[in-house]
Structures are given as structure tokens and as C-alpha cells.
Amino acid sequence: MPELPEVETVRRGLAEVMEGIAIVDVGIHRSDLRRQVPKCLGHAVRGGVLTEIRRRAKYLELFLDNGNVILVHLGMSGRMLIDRKNSNIQPQSKHEHITFLMGNSNAIRFSDPRRFGLVDLCKADGLENHPLLKKLGAEPLTDAFDGRCVARLLKGRKTSIKSALLNQHIIAGLGNIYVCEALWMARLSPRREASTVRGKRAETLAKAIKIVLTDAIAAGGSTLRDHLSPGGSLGYFQHSFKVYGRDNEPCPSCRRRLVRIQQSGRSSFFCPSCQT
């Protein structure tokens, strides 16, 4: 599933060609995604100017000048691809479910072979209370996200730090790849109890999370399976992985072999020597 860097990469790519442009037409070719696409979507957004695209956790929020917001989640295999100067409302691929035709003659095509993604509609003044957004945790790329914030979020939590960081109600947008990478950078074992990460450990972890996410965004995210930027290019951060997917390889720091364990059905990759 695309994580925060992949979604941020998509947001930036779409913003370049959608912000300030009117949505001329909408084609809904299939509506039975993870959530049913609202029947009123086309009527509600047609003719509206897209003023801004934001990201909240792994969601894209497309704001229109008429007060509506298009909410998009890419699921496991979703893509928002830019089809330049092709204002054809008809789907151009088997798994294209929604087409947005823009006033600059570009088409934005939402495709999703597995249909775990979603496209929803809500009002801007009610966005924070949307059932998919209202319980999301802290955004890790904000100024407020620091060691004190991390310590407060993890206080009293008896679960592993790996499980806590994957909990979207605690910190929003993190997935398995970047949690593994951040824990290695912070020298914290994924098995460590979350409540013990405070003080200097919390400060180091907060910085590591920001560094890993920022570097991944700069590389266009990680393409392991389905992720492409809106322009169709791959992400390259997978070439910079320090631990993820590298079990039995030498640790980049101490050269001991990296290990892989299972935690709550997810694979954790770490160095048993460096990470404690």
C-alpha cells in the first residue's frame, strides 16, 4: 500500500496540473470501490475550480471553490495518472474507474485494479469530522511533531514500538517500510515497548521519522509493486533502503547480519546489534 511519501509524491504531481483549473467533466465508469462512489460526485464538482490539493495521512484532499472536497485514497494499487492533452472521457484502460477532465485539456485518470481505493465527496467545513479522517493521529512532517510529541503519544502504551508506529490513530501516514527504516536510523528495536520511548529516544525517533520521510519524498517514494507518480515515473527510494527487505545482508552500520521477524502479521527488518 502506498505510504505517506508515495501519496505526497502524487499530491505534488497533481497540484502542478490541477490547481487553479476547472473540472470540466467527470466520468464514473465503476462505482463499487472500497466505498461506493457518491452518485452526486459529477454534479457536485463539475464546473468547480480546484483551488488546492492537500494530504492528510495517506489521503488526498482536493478542494474546490464551491466548498466541496474530493477525498481520495489509493488503497493498495490505486493510481492518479495525468493524461496530457487527451480530453477523452472514456476509460483508457481496463481498470480506470473515474476520469476527471480539466479545463487545460488534461485528463486525470483514477485506476485501481484491486478496487481497495476510494473516491468520496464532502464539504470543506465538515472535512475534519469525516469518518475516515476524524480519528487519524499526528502528522509526522509538521513542526509540532518532535520528541515531546512522540513521548506523549507513546506514553503508557504497552505494545511494541513497531505496532504503535503503524497505528494510524497515533501517528498518521506511516507504513511498514518507513517504520523499519526510521527505527534503524533511531537505533531502536522494533520489539521495544512503546512506552519506554521517551526523552532522548523520543527526540531521536522523531528526527529519524522526518529524515526518512523527507528523503523518500525527494526520491519520489518507493516503487515495489504499483506506485507511479502522476506523470507515470517510478519512485527510487527503494534503492536507499538500509534494512527493509534486506534480511541476511550486512547491517550498513555494524556489518552484522540483518534479521527478519514477524510482528502482528507484518515483517520487521532490523539489526539485533545496533537496535536495542
Catalytic residue numbers, as ranges: 2-3, 58, 266
Contacts of 36 (CB under 8 A, 6+ apart): none
Whether the Cβ atoms of residue 270 and residue 258 lie closer than 8 Å to each other: yes
Q: Which of 211, 169, 28, 14 minimizes the C-alpha distance to 104?
A: 14
Whether the Cβ atoms of residue 119 and residue 113 lie closer than 8 Å to each other: no
Whether the Cβ atoms of residue 118 and residue 33 lie closer than 8 Å to each other: yes
Please tell me whether residue 18 adopts helix, strand or coil conformation: helix
What's the rounded Cα separation, in Å, for the pair 264 and 227? Answer: 24
Whether the Cβ atoms of residue 5 and residue 216 lie closer than 8 Å to each other: yes
User: Cell for 90?
Assistant: 472514456
Whether the Cβ atoms of residue 134 and residue 128 lie closer than 8 Å to each other: yes
